[in-house]
Structure 1
């Protein structure tokens, strides 16, 4: 396979994976009584509704072309309103963890398919990309640093007084800076924790 085809293949797999990740957030939030994702038109597989030009296309292409050893990206976050949950803490936790769980389910299915069946080189490569990318997305998003899903899991087990202070900071003008720095720090953590696992998975090819 040519490098261009491999690059396009990896990006397509990533886009599908991050869309399913965000769709899982929205679907669980909707099931818990929050109409916000549906009203925003995000309970759909239509990629146009989810794709973020920078995070879903440009960054993944740049990472693959640069051959840095990891492919990553994001879709537009699905809007939710935790105030619509019967139990805000529980609902928020379930909604936050739904994204990573969806990625780990896909990872598990791809792992079983790759292990149990003997496909040709092209199909095995597609399955491996789906497996590796979903493992990275699931594990990375569980890192408890804003703006990742793992942060909201920890956030919702904290006392109300601390949660309110954190929200005030995140909703202030410092929020964007905190999220950017947090994401960069999380990438650094993932480089030494998540990436080595992905490298070991190459033995399945």
Structure 2
């Protein structure tokens, strides 16, 4: 059995769900951005697997524990499934910036793990984020870079300095529509 190498990598907070400067600390605080879960379903229906790569320093800061993070991800999975979507895996970094780990974006460790696990070609794989660090992590490895203007995205765009070739979309729904339309041409 051969698996499709068609994969999309999404940041979580600000891309799939509403972000908060106070961190998303519980399932009650995890609220999907309108259209984001349907976008995941649309990508799945087009043959793409969807994987999440997310910094979750709230664990390292002691703001929530693994049980809370697992409950948030279970809620995300259930909400995606309710509209016909599926998230194949969630990769996350629990560390703070002070830890100097390799998995915290903008370092590419999480994306490298995904590359190895799913045996993908980064140049044929989009990374979708709302923060410069998401794009920087992808740029190091040669991923196809996409910024959404939800979450921190509008501020990220206004600040400038995006890696060369970054494409900009209103939100995850518009990324999915744009990306899939490009593939059909």
- TM-score with structure 1 setting the length: 0.29
Higher fraction of helix: 1
The structure with more radius of gyration: 1
- TM-score with structure 2 setting the length: 0.32
Higher fraction of strand: 2
